[in-house]
Amino acid sequence: MKVFKSQLSVIGYQLSTISLLFTVFLPSPALSHNSGVVHIEAMGSAAIYENTANADILAMDDAFKRAVAKVVEAIVAEEEMDKLALILEDKIYSNAARYILNYRILSKEIMEDEDSAAEGDVPIHSAYIEADISVALLTKDLTAAGIIREGELRSIAITILNLSDYKTFEFFKRNILKAKGVKEVYYISFAKDKAVLAVETSSGVQALKQEIMAVDVKEWKTEVSVVSGIFAPDRIEIRFFPLKGQVSQ
């Protein structure tokens, strides 16, 4: 795709933008790991046929849907997604804004889709957002719709890197066991600077990530990320970095 024109130059777009500026960040409950909230970035798009303002709204709706879908993919088993597509669209994605606690627009563009030449080069309105999503409400609705079962456990692998201090490792493992939804923690492998755990939890991978990020490990800094694989389930990777004056044992 190539940039077709800036949104600031589109006639009639200014009023829509002003309206969005007043609604873009809604008050939210405390955004802590205990509130079941995850932060997601997503891009939505919509074709512009006649009304630019309508395309803007549709692009935002699409961005909300894609943000919520990322969280759904972390909760619902991958092998179930295809057969649940219709019910997810009807029960969840059709009202994706319900799960958005607040959001911020990172960028907006109007672009020309080079693949749409046969359709007369229809411009595409895109909206890139970051949003805080209520995992608790989403999980409640997924359960009510029969998409997931309440209390259903799943196994999530956690890879811990750069930590050879066994005392700190055990402290960290105990705190993972205390995380919301976690039922059991198992060792898969343990070696110098790398350990792999299996966590049995009723929470999704994003929710577990937020719980792990809240663990305060003295004298260590941690970086927590979700690693997605094409042929493997998502896993969590945690990298430890000693703070100044701390030496890894």
Q: How many domains, the chain? A: 2
Query: Is 247 within the bounds of a domain?
Result: no
Give the model's confidence band at 22: pLDDT under 50 very low, under 70 low, under 90 confident, else very high.
Answer: very low
Question: Any bridge partners for residue 154, and if so which?
Answer: 201
Query: Is 248 within the bounds of a domain?
Result: no
Is residue 11 domain-shared with residue 92, that is, in the same domain?
yes
Query: Is 237 within the bounds of a domain?
Result: yes
Rounded to whole angstroms, the Cα distance separating 31 from 215 reads: 15
Domain final residue, candidates 89, 124, 144: 144
Is residue 84 domain-shared with residue 44, that is, in the same domain?
yes
pLDDT digits (tens, 9 = 90+) for 23-41: 233 333 223 333 468 888 9
Q: What is the pLDDT of residue 114?
A: 57
- Token pair of 197 as six digits: 């755990």
Q: What is the dihedral of CA 129, 132, 136, 140, to 10 degrees?
A: -20
Closest to 76 (Cα-Cα) out of 136, 131, 159, 154: 154
Query: Is 198 within the bounds of a domain?
Result: yes
CATH of the domain at 190: 3.30.70
Domain final residue, candidates 144, 170, 186: 144
**Sheet with strand 2-5: strands edge to edge:** 2-5, 100-112, 123-134, 37-47
Is residue 171 domain-shared with residue 108, that is, in the same domain?
no
Residue span of the structural domain in which 131 resides: 2-144
Query: Is 249 within the bounds of a domain?
Result: no
pTM (whole model) above 0.75: no
Burial class (CB in 10 A: 0-12, 13-18, 19+), 11: exposed
Is residue 130 domain-shared with residue 173, that is, in the same domain?
no
pLDDT digits (tens, 9 = 90+) for 145-198: 988 876 667 788 899 998 877 888 888 888 888 888 888 888 888 777 888 888
Q: Which residue has the higher pLDDT, 222 or 7?
A: 222
Q: Which residue has the higher pLDDT, 43 or 117?
A: 43
Query: Is 236 within the bounds of a domain?
Result: yes
C-alpha radius of gyration, the chain, whole number: 21
CATH of the domain at 55: 3.30.1660.40
Domain final residue, candidates 121, 144, 167: 144
Q: What is the pLDDT of residue 79?
A: 77
